[in-house]
Copies of this chain bind each other. A is one copy, B any other.
Amino acid sequence: MRFGEETTSEGVTERLFTVGDVPGVVWAAAGAAGPRPLVLIGHGGGAHKTAPAVTARARRYVTRLGVAVAAIDAPGWGGRQVPVSYEPFNAEIEELTAAGKPLLDVYARRGAVIADLAVPEWQATIDALTALDWIGSGPLGYFGVSLGSSIGVPLVAAEPRIGAAVLGLMGHETLAAHAARITVPVQVLLQWDDVIVPRDYGLALFDAIGSAEKTLHVNPGGHGATPEFEIEDSERFFARHLLA
């Protein structure tokens, strides 16, 4: 793990880093010393590790929960080279978009390819972050919706160090087997009028999750219209499971 630029503002220190060739960022209270819970944020399809919505959420979690927060760029996002294996999917996405046809199926098939690359990257990042004396060995949470759940559902299923997760804005049979292996508390987000992820697909993801404690929050509006109060709801969810 190599650290890069470090900046502190409003009591929160943001440190850029790389693990192998994966660029990441970790936020914590300025002068943070000693172990603390860590929340991982998986960015969405239009975003990257320091997109405004990711940074704003990270700073809120640091300030209100006293946790550390980390994000990495998914393979092909945030200036990372687009893997050759995406090319047929990206061509298909272009055609379907031009034809105004549904995109969930190709997003999901591409998502499975992305997750195969991204899950080991997250696991190496967790190895590196949990070795830091100002983070330590957890507990760990994960927040990621849309692309962040295409990666997050397989990640949470595969990674026993993650003890609680907020997932959603995604759902497809390619995720069902992974979802069934998830046993930790999960909060799932679904947008009732989402044209990218029709409601039945989002409900099916919730239904497939194996956890005894799982709670689904449904709100009106499209894929990008999750209300602001769900950020506060996710804080309380992580507070219940990471700070208790």
Contact = CB atoms under 8 A, between A and B. Distances in A.
Interface of A: 192, 203, 206-207, 212-220, 227, 229, 232-233, 236, 240
17 contacts: A192-B206, A203-B203, A206-B218, A212-B220, A213-B227, A214-B219, A214-B220, A215-B217, A215-B219, A215-B227, A216-B216, A216-B219, A229-B240, A232-B236, A233-B233, A233-B236, A236-B236
A214 B227 CA distance: 10
Given A207-B192, A229-B240, A215 B218 contact: yes
A162 to B, nearest CB: 20
A229 B213 CA distance: 11
> Which 5 A/B pairs are nearest by Cβ-Cβ distance?
A216-B218, A215-B219, A217-B217, A214-B220, A215-B217
A93 to B, nearest CB: 30
Contacts of A240: 229
Contacts of A233: 233, 236
A9 B111 CA distance: 57
A122 B233 CA distance: 31
Q: Which of A212, A215, A217 has the most CB of B within 10 A?
A: A215
A219 B206 CA distance: 10
Contacts of A232: 236
Contacts of A213: 220, 227
